[in-house]
Amino acid sequence: METTAIKQNSSVGIVEKQYYTFAEPPGEMTLESGARLGPITLAYETYGEFNARRDNCILLAHAFSGDSHAAGHYSSDSKEDKPGWWDFMVGPGRGIDTDKYFVVCVNILGSCMGSTGPGSINTETGNPYGLTFPMMTIGDMVDAQKALIDFLEIPKLHAVIGGSVGGMQVLEWCVRYPQMVRAAIPIATTMRHSALAIAFNEIARQSIIADPNWNKGNYYGGKCPDMGLAVARMIGHVTYLSDEAMRRKFGRRLQDKASFSFGFDADFQVESYLRYQGSKFVDRFDANSVLYITKASDYFDVVEQLRVPFNKDSPETLKYLVVSYSSDWLYPTYQAKELVQTLKRSGQDVSFCEIEADCGHDAFLIADDRLTHLIRGFLDGIS
């Protein structure tokens, strides 16, 4: 298969989003809930080229509100076109070296960034699914990705890499298709949500559901639940940062004012920042997708599956590199250590690194040579 990227300096250059449709009726995909879904379309991008054996593929799994655009640009005007979310990591000579690897990034099932989700048209009715879209799981997302990997005729993945909800997908790949994965790098993630993480997700969902424009999910073609979605994003964004990052970035500084308004304007810079993040999110994401993806992440739990002893007689072992961040309070380091202990007790080959950083959960999305060197060195050591 030809790459969809054109090299330009150290970037993968100009890239193109591609689409794969499968599970056409009557061959719908059966989800964990027992519901059947089809047809299913997945948006994806590729970078680099296959080697002769087609065994140099790395699958990138994006976070909750991410998409398939992991690297490069869609146009030559880079000032107007934002690079992919991991552009600093993926490219010739970078941590994930596209001179060595064929890289695939897939937009998850249930999203609104090109793949089939609640905002997609139900071919049976001709209307958007809305809440008739079946509830899905992280496992269902991975099963859909597996269909694409089979379509691309990839016999085995050199590695699966992802952070946050992407890290959940990494672990699900290792549970469901261990024979398909040579190595795994779960970053800033967990084996299952804590009560705290579930609580924040539920608050976000209720902010959407309480918006009168939500209309039980049937808002397509009318007024959207923009306020509820914006508040949901504000809630989520706070969990992605850290106390130190917010203190350094905002403190108690006022927003273009010499004194308080003594009203409910955005007096503080942090208030203005969160309102901006909320309004920006409304322009690019679907409220129903937030409901489905957060619920899928709450359902995620692979503790028991990862406790199963590894087959030491297997001709190939699956290697893990688990990465956490010291200031991540959404998925704290203690949860990463629990993952490491679980994997070691089951006989897996595991490396672990906690990176000291004060940026919070989103640190893996910020350029950092330490993470780049970690990933490059780990990938180079996989035979």
Which residues face 97 on adjacent strands? Answer: 91
Say which residue the tokens 């380091």 belong to.
Answer: 333
Catalytic residue among 267, 328, 362, 368: 328
Query: What would the two tokens of residue 275 be?
Result: 């309102």
Is 361 a catalytic site residue?
yes
Give a three-class secondary structure readout of 249-300.
HCCCCECCCCCCCCCCCCCEHHHHHHHHHHHHHHCCCCHHHHHHHHHHHHHC
Contact between 149 and 50 under an 8 Å Cβ cutoff? The reply is no
Catalytic residue among 164, 207, 242, 327: 164
Catalytic residue among 73, 226, 361, 362: 361
Contact between 188 and 165 under an 8 Å Cβ cutoff? The reply is no
Cα-to-chain-centroid distance, residue 357: 20
Is 328 a catalytic site residue?
yes
Q: How far apart are CA 352 and CA 373, in angstroms?
A: 14
Q: How far apart are CA 212 and CA 230, in angstroms?
A: 14
Which of 67, 159, 359, 133 is CA-nearest to residue 239? 359
Q: SS3 of 104, please? A: strand
Count of alpha carbons within 13 Å of 98, Cβ hemisphere only?
29
Which residues face 43 on adjacent strands? Answer: 19
φ/ψ of residue 284, rounded to 5: -125, -10
Is 286 a catalytic site residue?
no
DSSP state at residue 28: P
Query: What would the two tokens of residue 74 be?
Result: 């869609």
Q: Which residues make Cβ contacts (< 8 Å) with residue 240, sequence separation at least 6?
A: 330, 360, 361, 362
Contact between 205 and 295 under an 8 Å Cβ cutoff? The reply is yes
Contact between 104 and 58 under an 8 Å Cβ cutoff? The reply is yes
Could you give the residue numbers annotated as active site? 164, 328, 361
